[in-house]
Structure 1
Amino acid sequence: MQENFVIHPDYSQMATKLRHVLNNFSKKGEYVTKGERNVIKTVVVEGNSLNIKKFKTPNVFQSQVYQYLRKSKAKRSYEYALKLIGFGIKTPFPVAYFERFSGGLKESFYVSEQVNYDFDFRELIHNPQFKKRKEILNQFTQFTFKLHENGVNFLDHSPGNTLIMDNGNDNYEFYLIDLNRMRFEKMTFEKRMHNFRRLWLSKTMVKIMAAEYAKLYGKTYSETHQLMLKHSRAFQKKINSKKLRRRKR
């Protein structure tokens, strides 16, 4: 059995205790989510509140790929978090990642600081009367623009993957989570608008965000709105069609 444990230098003093927690993951901490694919727990180690994400064990073929050809989701999450922070983009601070191999990748964990956020982007979708909704959407658009300007194509830019903190005085902070699917590349206007598609935006939300993005990018409102709406509607139609096909089975 081969193991790979990498911990950020800022947390090196608790390496032994954290490794013990990871080796006894099933017995430690409290569940945040317990899905079919991934499990997330919260633990306290030396007074630090941490989130540990255990990724689903890959199949035989994928486990070989992750050992020899491609970085694991845990390693990518850790490295991408460091990159984002380097760009001045917020994400829960990356503490460590842990991989266990035996004829391929068997287990992988990503550890980050726990962020005490106020709400996530989903609230803005489900509640059109959400307090300061327009202002939050404008600031979220500025946040997304910053991602794009730094060449970050966040492939999972979806409602549950942005945590929002209300700092008062109409000031909001945005934290990206679920980081393992990203590309770092030049973001054309087409790619930028395509990147909004998973956010499940209403027509009103598209109008607000397109106006703000057009102002930031120097495009007209009309062309920004048209392309953002096109990609948003195409994605929603695709997902709804899949749901309909499942119901008919």
Structure 2
Amino acid sequence: MKTKIVINAKYQHLKEFIGKLPVNFHTQGEVLFGGRNIIRDIPVGDLRLNVKAFKVPNIINQFVYDNFRISKARRSFEYANLLLEKGINTPDPVAFLECKQGFLFKQSYYISIQENFDGLMREFNTGELAGREDLLSQFAKFTADMHQKEVLHLDYSPGNILYKKEGQSFHFYLVDLNRMYFGNISMDLGCRSFRRLWGNEEMIRFIASEYAKARNFDQDKCIELTLLYHRKFWEYFTKKHPDKKAYT
């Protein structure tokens, strides 16, 4: 098994730990997520590391990732560094690791600093706007700023947007970074990016209005587009998952 490791210069002292991940991953720390990909919170010295093990691709993609496509772990690491360079928050990237066997790509890992957050956008499944205006206004402005910096998170879903609160200010962080777009973001593309958010129509309308103001877009058109994409997404999603809704 051939292993490639790239480590952030600040965390070179973790080289030994990172090199042993393929052997030790399943016996260390606490499982935070146990789906297709597995995420663990692992303490190492005075640090807590968030280690994401990506599912081994199918046999065709094992060849593709080895020869033609950049791995999800590498993209996560490189995109995290790009976001930080642009002044967009994400947990500090530590390293990525890729395991290959012959001409086939096997396991890969992305390691970042495990942060403590005050909340995440997944909390808004009740869909109510009242009392949340300040947070949601700042979230819309954060999104507008990100889009003006030509960054689009392609999985802008409630579980991938977290925040910390300092006084009256909210600081938003992005996670799950392996799918990003960098380039000009039109009003249509920007409004479409809100489609996965949880919340009722009043909440989505408020976010769209604040986003439009921050980007000097036509508010009525922006609201119309955002609601359209939001409805279409959730109509399709709930047909496939009848037990899940955009809000409760």
TM-score, normalised via structure 2 length: 0.93
2:227 maps to 229
Deviation at 1:22, TM superposition (A): 4.4
2:118 maps to 118
1:200 maps to 198
1:183 maps to 181
CA contact (8 A) 1:193 1:228 kept: yes
1:135 maps to 134
1:241 maps to 239
Partner of 1:198, secondary structure, is coil
Q: Distance in 1 between matches of 2:196 and 2:104?
A: 32
Q: Distance in 2 between matches of 1:244 and 1:177?
A: 27
Partner of 1:40, secondary structure, is strand
1:50 maps to 49
Q: Distance in 2 between matches of 1:68 and 1:112?
A: 26
CA contact (8 A) 2:127 2:203 kept: no
Q: Distance in 1 between matches of 2:127 and 2:19?
A: 41
For each residue in 1:117-142, what CA deviation from the matched residue of structure 2 results, as whole angstroms up to 9, or x when unmatched?
01110112326277x41111001101
The one of 171, 174, 177 equivalent to 2:172 is 174
CA contact (8 A) 2:191 2:208 kept: no
Q: Distance in 1 between matches of 2:126 and 2:82?
A: 31
Partner of 2:13, secondary structure, is helix
CA contact (8 A) 2:53 2:110 kept: yes
CA contact (8 A) 1:49 1:113 kept: yes
Deviation at 1:212, TM superposition (A): 0.8
- The structure-2 alpha-carbon separation of the partners of 1:155 and 1:200, relative to structure 1 and needing over 3 Å to count, comes to same
The percentage of counterpart residues that share the same residue type is 37
For each residue in 1:51-85, what CA deviation from the matched residue of structure 2 results, as whole angstroms up to 9, or x when unmatched?
10001111000111111111111000000000000
Q: CA RMSD in A?
A: 1.6
AA of the residue aligned to 2:224 = Q
CA contact (8 A) 1:151 1:186 kept: yes
CA contact (8 A) 2:33 2:40 kept: yes
2:13 maps to 13
Q: Distance in 1 between matches of 2:127 and 2:164?
A: 17
Q: Distance in 2 between matches of 1:243 and 1:25?
A: 32
Deviation at 1:222, TM superposition (A): 0.9
Partner of 2:185, secondary structure, is coil
Q: Distance in 2 between matches of 1:189 and 1:179?
A: 22
